[in-house]
Amino acid sequence: ALAAILAGLMFDAFVALGASARAASGTAALLMLSPPLLIFSVLFFTELLSALLCFLVFHRICLHDARGTWQWWWLGCLTGFLFLLPARNIGLTLPLAALALYRLRGPFRRREAGAFALGVSALVVARTAINYVFWGTLVSSPHARLAGWRGWATLTGETATRTLGLLV
């Protein structure tokens, strides 16, 4: 269901960018049937939900200019929820927040910018509090922690293995 929603959002985005309905449906189908999305659509991992939320927020910020404090508050909550899923989504959360605040930079949109920032902050604080209650740290946990440096040979071997796996 999440993959189907993501495909519909992609189709809508391609049409909004000027593609014909036929080209948009073919491109959306090709992307959804590509190995990463096709595989993740039948497995229970956070990657597909992260992709859907990221694209949904991007779609609403850039292609359909959302109006109103409630819409921007919800977009802020969704952006903050990206960080709550796994902490590694910080690489998605920060650019989306920066993009939204850039979009809302005018003096007449300060309330919407405040609502967005409040939504992001609420979910980031909730994630930090949950992490602190469970593991006593603000960011890391037994599942998400920095590993020790094991040298260039290990790094090169792991990079080669992952690259070959991606190519296969």
Nearest to 80 by CA among 44, 48, 130, 117: 117
Rounded distance between C-alpha atoms, residue 92 and residue 144, angstroms = 17
**pLDDT by residue (tens digit) across 5-28?**
888 999 999 999 899 999 999 999
Q: Which residues contact 126 (CB under 8 A, 6 or more apart)?
A: 80, 84
For residue 121, what pLDDT is reported?
A: 95
Chain segment 49-78, per-residue pLDDT in tens? 888 899 999 999 988 878 888 999 999 999
Nearest to 56 by CA among 77, 87, 41, 32: 77
Block residue for tokens 């993959």 = 3
The phi, psi pair for 82, rounded to 5°, reads -55, -40
The number of helix segments (H) and strand segments (E) in the chain equals: 8, 0
| Burial class of residue 116 (count of CB atoms within 10 Å of its CB; 0-12, 13-18, 19+) | buried
The per-residue pLDDT of the chain, averaged, comes to: 87
